Structure 1
């Protein structure tokens, strides 16, 4: 049997979490080892093929549900420039450019439409909003990054979405989506697939449609690895293959400190898997042996596998931060990551090292949470010692890690920790709380970093000071970090996958 691995996800976003990064890393690892694999996504996303290219993913290594029904798989990119488009008859209409992001379409001096330029392009059509006689948006055309009109949206008089048409690459409708109010909220209430293989199909939810889609693309050779707990029920209901596995990227208990307790409350998003759909999955894959063993004790009839959910595909040039007082946090800026606690240790470190500088890199849970962090920074009078930096990729991210003396993490629960693994590859010493499950798999205490008793911020600050003020300790930890990185090399992680493949 030729195995085909399908990694099930919601989307590839502009700002991705560790879940998406894990799937993309796994895809590249499988590519490197000539294993047939694809990332499968549910969400409608006109920027999808723009986003995947940022991460080094090829068009033929992904399959989006809407692409499939739009007959847009394999579609080559066409630059649909507004100035040269057939969108309007330029003899009767005028294009009034406002700035690089939008233009208005006018007729006889009256504004009839607004064209929003596709993000990160020059003059290519993104959305077109058409106005009624009262200046309200009556409908919207949505263009795909590859240069074709992909969707038409028709509005209710109150401005809310009423009806959507999904179009194929020739402009023919292939799907209708109806929206209605349920209580006080507007929801899509019907997905109608038009003339698919000569029939029309109706679905109540997008997840029902996604299950249908997965059944269409899967057969007995498919191995589904679901990366998203939100899609547990969807994958469980696929009946075209029995080879279904759930990948967990975080701890399984609501309180990570109780992860070893078989009676502890589950994370809410995992209840459907373990309470309702467990029998429909062949097994569960987690990142560490400790979590595998804890789950096996809790569910003795289940099958659990331990495979690191990230691999170091290429070893970078080690950092040279001996003289640096730069410390870094890299990851989601969310409350559950306790990143505000990093700010509270800076005044203590500053007393010893006045030019200490913390760079916090990632995307924010919300605008309000960023304001909270800014307020803490001002209150602690550490404005000159902290930088909140947007999400970085590629060379920009590598530059930050290359200049980092110590990598920090204050999360109270992990599955592994992609940022700490990546830090090892640069030889960066690390300081993190000793929580389940990841840090103690990555950090050997007093060898390549420090594991701190949970919530002990005083010890946390002292260990950071230790690494910043003792070059001999830093150098030893730096060398040990590079050695430790071998544990997460592409060859070692692929060996784990090969053992899994042989066992199924």
Structure 2
């Protein structure tokens, strides 16, 4: 079993989650046992995984596991038919589409919030004391059972969280106490697990216990896909192999000296003080070689972690529609991307830019929107809502642009190539030459400025035959990174 270990699967996911999903599906489709493992509590997990095309046997969440809810069919639970609310004694009043109230003798006892995206289904219920202070909240899982409830300290901060199995039995308690003036989790208690109670100081300790349960049931290869799960993965006893997968560069520039050093998040992987991973994997052989040469690690290798089916229907050779699909975040340097487009649009007025993804924060959204407005580009820059199906945006796209200052590989660029859409980017680690090669399947510049990239893009699209050659080579590149190649690489790495 190959366990891809991460934090969560969200409504809005990053490239890491998409890589885990692609890897797991490719391995399963080619006869390898594989599963995604997540750490964080998420009562919407079954909804979010279904949206991503995952079935319940392709992932396992720690809280679901202890709640005996790893394979539960969804039942719609109306707020008017909750067993915890006896309608003989209490009255449920529908206020609007978002919530109802529970009333008794003229007093509102509770507010029943409707499950997001549903009509009249139980989401969560806030209960109030006689003076209106919230004293208890009950949270219902998307699948229609009471999943967790929490009580509060007098200041309104969380005091105790209790998680229930599908039959209503308490299985986990998390105690929150004031530590140095801040309320934080201070104890995780696993209740009556095979007749025993277990107490942990941190969620990572509980997660380590959980991973060992998985390994006992089916010994496997554990892949740490996020730094936050490193401690727990290294705590697995007698796994087949432990692998740390770095989805981005392990280096960052010092803002004062300009020198490159290890990102703090990756020190425990590439420069460990204790136990080491059996293997450190990266998106490219180039990065793997750098880590092997510079640090005392057991072994490194470049491993493909995503693939996309080929769609060669795009025949666009004119420079009209430029696209970017991915997180809209500072580390993706979206401000420079807009500057690139601004330079292009000044010379080609019929061009438009489509950005598809989700913003890292409301503040960054405001910054980008303000930049677009000040550049007078509001009519030609379109920000599309995040979704998992990107086929429509690529149907008539001319070019995919990214101005990120570093990439672990660039799976969003690979996706565009699978649609025959060339990539324009800065010649940065580790996308340059490993995925995108200037003049072959894309456009790259070493002198990294928006003006220079825009100029080269316009020059390139002035030659239709060159654009046709780029498009043909993008499809060849995507074919080279197909699911068979991914699986063979992982099989070889595990056996090594």
* TM-score normalised per structure 1: 0.93
Contact 1:102 1:115 in 2 (8 A): yes
SS in 2 for 1:450: strand
For 1:108-119, what aligned pairs fall within 5 Å after superposition? 108-119=105-116
1:284 matched to 2:277: no
Contact 1:412 1:454 in 2 (8 A): no
For 1:256-405, what aligned pairs fall within 5 Å after superposition? 264-276=260-272, 279-299=275-295, 302-312=298-308, 314-323=309-318, 325-394=320-389, 397-405=390-398
The 1-side partners of 2:92 and 2:457 are apart by 58
Greater shift in the superposed pair: 353-362 or 343-352: 343-352
The 1-side partners of 2:385 and 2:463 are apart by 31
- Residue 414 of structure 1 aligns with which residue? 407
Greater shift in the superposed pair: 171-180 or 448-457: 448-457
Q: CA deviation at 1:277?
A: 5.4
The 1-side partners of 2:430 and 2:335 are apart by 21
* Residue among 128, 131, 134 paired with 1:134: 131
Q: CA deviation at 1:276?
A: 2.7
- Residue 229 of structure 2 aligns with which residue? 231
Contact 2:112 2:126 in 1 (8 A): yes
Q: CA deviation at 1:323?
A: 5.0
Cα distance 1:12–1:454, how it changes in 2: closer, same or farther (>3 A)? farther
Contact 2:27 2:33 in 1 (8 A): yes
Q: CA deviation at 1:377?
A: 1.1
- Residue 255 of structure 1 aligns with which residue? 253
Contact 2:316 2:396 in 1 (8 A): yes
- Please give the root-mean-square deviation of Cα atoms over the aligned residues, in Å: 2.1
- Residue 170 of structure 2 aligns with which residue? 173
Contact 2:427 2:448 in 1 (8 A): no
Q: Deviations over 1:470-495 (max 9, x none)?
A: 43332222222112211111122222
The 2-side partners of 1:217 and 1:491 are apart by 27
* Residue among 8, 11, 20 paired with 1:11: 8
Greater shift in the superposed pair: 85-94 or 154-163: 85-94
- Residue 74 of structure 2 aligns with which residue? 77
- Residue 198 of structure 2 aligns with which residue? 201
Cα distance 1:100–1:463, how it changes in 2: closer, same or farther (>3 A)? farther
Contact 2:219 2:240 in 1 (8 A): no
Cα distance 1:471–1:110, how it changes in 2: closer, same or farther (>3 A)? farther
Contact 1:236 1:277 in 2 (8 A): no
Cα distance 1:317–1:99, how it changes in 2: closer, same or farther (>3 A)? farther
Greater shift in the superposed pair: 119-128 or 59-68: 119-128
- Residue 85 of structure 2 aligns with which residue? 88
Structure 1, unmatched stretches of 5+, are 257-262
Q: CA deviation at 1:168?
A: 0.9
Q: Deviations over 1:228-280 (max 9, x none)?
A: 11111121122242621111101111139xxxxxx941111001223335643
Contact 2:5 2:36 in 1 (8 A): yes
Q: CA deviation at 1:446?
A: 1.0
Greater shift in the superposed pair: 58-67 or 240-249: 240-249
* TM-score normalised per structure 2: 0.95
SS in 2 for 1:340: helix
- Residue 25 of structure 1 aligns with which residue? 22
Contact 1:97 1:104 in 2 (8 A): yes
SS in 1 for 2:76: coil
Q: CA deviation at 1:342?
A: 1.2
Q: Tell me how many residue pairs correspond in the alignment.
A: 493
The 2-side partners of 1:384 and 1:165 are apart by 51
